Amino acid sequence: MEVIGKSVIRKDALDKVTGRAKYTHDFQSIPMLSGKMVISPYGHAKIVSIDTTDAWEIPGVRAILAGEHFPLTGEAIRDRPPLAVDKVRYHGEAVALVVADTPRIAKKAADLIRIQYELLPVVNSPTQAFQKDATLVHEHLGEYKKEEDSTPVPNSNIANHIKIRKGNMDQGWAKSTTVVEASFSFSPSDHVAMEPRCARAEIKHDGNIIIMTSSQAPFMVKRLIADYFGEEIGKIVVHTPYVGGGYGGKAPVQLEILAYLASKAVGGKPVEILNTREEDLISSPCHIGLDATVRLGADQNGKFHAAEISYWWDGGAYSDKAIDVTRSGAADCTGPYQIEHVWCDSYCMYTNHTYASPYRGFSHSELSFVIERTIDMLAQKLNIDPLEIRDINAIRPGNRTPTRVLLNRSNVGNLPKCIERVKELIRWDKGAILEVNPRFVRVKGVSTSWKTSTIDTDAPSGAILTFNRDGSINLMSGVIEIGTGTKTILAQILAERLKIDLDKIHVKMEVDTQTTPEHWKTVASRGTFMAGRAVLKAADDVIKQLKNIAAIVLRAPVEDLEVADSRVFLRDEPYTGVPFTDICYGYKYPNGESIGGQIIGRGNYILRNLTHMDQETGAGKPGPEWSVAAYAVEVEFDRRDYTYQILQACSVVDLGKVLNEKTALGQVMGAMNMGLAFAGRETFFYDELGRVMNPQLRTYRPLRYGEHPKYLVGFVETPQLDGPYGARGVGELGLMGMPGALGNALSLAAGVNLNNLPLTPELIWKAKGGSQ
362 versus 580: smaller Cβ distance to other proteins: 362
**Rounded-to-10 torsion of CA 578, 580, 581, 584:** 120
Rounded least distance, CB 195 to other proteins, Å: 4
Q: Is 23 in the site for other proteins (CB under 8 A)?
A: yes
CA proximity to 160, closest of 183, 144, 174, 171: 144
> Which residue among 121, 579, 702, 761 contacts other proteins (CB under 8 A)?
702
Near other proteins by CB under 8 A, which window of 239-247, 374-382, 442-450, 495-503?
A: 239-247
3-state helix, strand, coil in the chain (%, to 5): 30, 30, 45
Distance (Å, whole) CA 285 – CA 317:
10
Relative orientation angle of helices 364-382 and 386-393, to the nearest 10 degrees: 110
| 9 near other proteins, judged by CB under 8 A | yes
- Interface residue with other proteins among 126, 218, 244, 624 (CB under 8 A) is 244
Question: Considering beta carbons, is residue 277 or 404 the nearer one to other proteins?
Answer: 277
Is position 276 an interface residue for other proteins (rule: CB under 8 A)?
A: yes
Query: CB 711 → other proteins: shortest distance, Å?
Result: 6
- Cis ω on the peptide bond leading into residue 709 (within 30° of 0)? no
User: Between 252 and 483, whose beta carbon lies closer to other proteins?
Assistant: 483
Query: Which amino acid type is present at position 730?
Result: V
Q: How far is the CB of 416 from other proteins (least distance, A)?
A: 26
Closer Cβ to other proteins, 28 or 771, answer by number: 28
Binding residue for other proteins (CB under 8 A) from 108, 175, 681, 766? 108
The minimum distance between CB 55 and other proteins, in angstroms, equals 10
Query: Strand, coil or helix: what is 9?
Result: coil
Rounded to the nearest whole angstrom, what is the least distance from the CB of residue 315 to other proteins in the complex?
Answer: 24
CB of 755 to other proteins, least distance (A): 27
Sheet (strand 289-298) strand order: 158-166, 341-350, 304-316, 289-298, 178-186
Burial readout 85-103 (b: 16 or more C-beta within 10 A, e: otherwise): eebbbbbbbbbbbbbbbeb
Residues in contact with other proteins, shown as a per-residue x/- string from 464 to 503 under the rule CB under 8 A: ------------------xxxx------------------
What residues from 653 to 692 belong to the interface with other proteins (CB under 8 A)?
662-663, 665-666, 669-670, 672-674
Stretch that binds other proteins, among 113-121, 134-142, 192-200, 471-479 (CB under 8 A): 192-200
**CB nearer to other proteins: pick between 82 and 218:** 218
425 binds other proteins (CB under 8 A): no
Query: Does 766 help bind other proteins (rule: CB under 8 A)?
Result: no
CB 402 within 8 A of CB 331: yes
Q: Which of 340, 707, 717, 722 binds other proteins (CB under 8 A)?
A: 707
Among the listed ranges 185-193, 366-374, 380-388, 535-543, the one in contact with other proteins (CB under 8 A) is 185-193
Interaction of residue 697 with other proteins, rule CB under 8 A: yes
Non-local CB neighbours of 753 within 8 Å, separated by 6+ positions: 182, 373, 377, 747, 767
Are residues 344 and 617 in contact, defined by beta-carbon separation less than 8 angstroms?
no
The answer to the question of residue 645 lying near other proteins (CB under 8 A) is: no
- Nearer CB in complex with other proteins: 164/193: 193
In the complex, minimum distance from the CB of residue 299 to other proteins, in angstroms, rounded to a whole number: 40
Paired with 464 in beta bridges are 476, 602
Among 1, 7, 71, 170, binds other proteins (CB under 8 A): 7
In whole angstroms, the minimum distance from the beta carbon of 387 to other proteins comes to 24
Q: Does 21 bind other proteins (CB under 8 A)?
A: yes
Instruction: Based on the shown chain and the rule CB under 8 A, indicate whether residue 195 belongs to the binding site for other proteins.
Output: yes
CA-nearest of 394, 455, 376 to 654 is 394
Q: Which is nearer to other proteins, 13 or 433 (CB)?
A: 13
Amino acid at 761: P
User: How many residues touch other proteins (CB under 8 A)?
Assistant: 63
β-strand 158-166 against 644-654: which pairing, if any? unpaired
Residue 280 host element (H or E): helix 277-282
Q: With H, G, I as helix, E, B as strand and everything else as coil, classify residue 41.
A: coil
**In the complex, minimum distance from the CB of residue 359 to other proteins, in angstroms, rounded to a whole number:** 12
Q: Is residue 370 within 8 Å of residue 180, measured between CB atoms?
A: no
Question: Is residue 197 a contact partner of residue 286, using CB atoms and an 8 Å limit?
Answer: no
Distance of CA 674 to the CA centre of its chain: 13
Contact stretch for other proteins (CB under 8 A) within 10-18, 586-594, 611-619, 757-765: 10-18
Q: Binding to other proteins by residue 695, rule CB under 8 A? A: no
Does 737 interact with other proteins (rule: CB under 8 A)?
Answer: no
Site membership for other proteins, residue 30 (CB under 8 A): no
Could you report how far apart the first and last alpha carbons of the chain are, in Å?
63
Residue 328 CB, shortest distance to other proteins, in Å, is 23
Query: Among residues 5, 6, 26, 149, which is the contact residue for other proteins, using CB under 8 A?
Result: 26
**Of residues 562, 711, 761, 766, which one binds other proteins by CB under 8 A?**
711
Q: Pattern 246-275, binding to other proteins, x per CB under 8 A?
A: xx--------------------------x-
- Report the SS3 class of residue 95: strand
| Contacting residue, 49, 437, 608, 705, with other proteins by CB under 8 A | 705
d(CA 152, CA 156): 8
Could you say whether residue 243 binds other proteins (CB under 8 A)? yes
List, in order, residues 6 or more apart from 202 with CB less than 8 Å away. Answer: 209, 210, 211, 263, 268, 269, 270, 271
CA-to-CA dists, residue 569 to 147, 288, 577, 599, angstroms: 54, 56, 4, 17
- Side-chain-side CA neighbours of residue 533 (13 Å): 21
Q: In whole angstroms, how close is the CB of 130 to other proteins at the nearest point?
A: 33
Nearer of residues 155 and 699 to other proteins, judged by Cβ: 699
What DSSP state is assigned to residue 430?
A: G
Radius of gyration in angstroms for the set of CA atoms belonging to the chain, rounded to a whole number:
27
Indicate the residue among 277 and 506 with the shorter CB distance to other proteins. Answer: 277
SS (H, E, C) 483-515: CCCHHHHHHHHHHHHHCCCHHHEEECCCEECCC
Taking the complex as a whole, the smallest distance from the CB of residue 93 to other proteins amounts, in Å, to 21
Binding other proteins by CB under 8 A: which of 6, 12, 70, 121?
Answer: 12
Of 158 and 489, the one with the shorter C-beta distance to other proteins is: 489
25 binds other proteins (CB under 8 A): yes
Chosen residue from 57, 181, 299, 456 binding other proteins by CB under 8 A? 57
Indicate left, alpha or beta for 404 from its phi (over 0: left) and psi (-120 to 50: alpha): left
Q: How far is the CB of 526 from other proteins (least distance, A)?
A: 18
DSSP string, 638-655: ETTT--EEEEEEEEEEE-
Nearest partner of 422 among 651, 261, 107, judged by Cα = 651
Nearer to other proteins, 247 or 347 (CB): 247
Q: For residues 708 and 768, which CB has a smaller minimum distance to other proteins in the complex?
A: 708
Backbone angles phi, psi at 464, to 5 degrees: -125, 135
555 binds other proteins (CB under 8 A): no
Q: Where do contacts with other proteins occur on this chain (CB under 8 A)? A: 7, 9-10, 12-23, 25-26, 28, 57-59, 104, 108, 191-196, 242-247, 274, 276-277, 482-485, 662-663, 665-666, 669-670, 672-674, 696-698, 702-708, 710-711
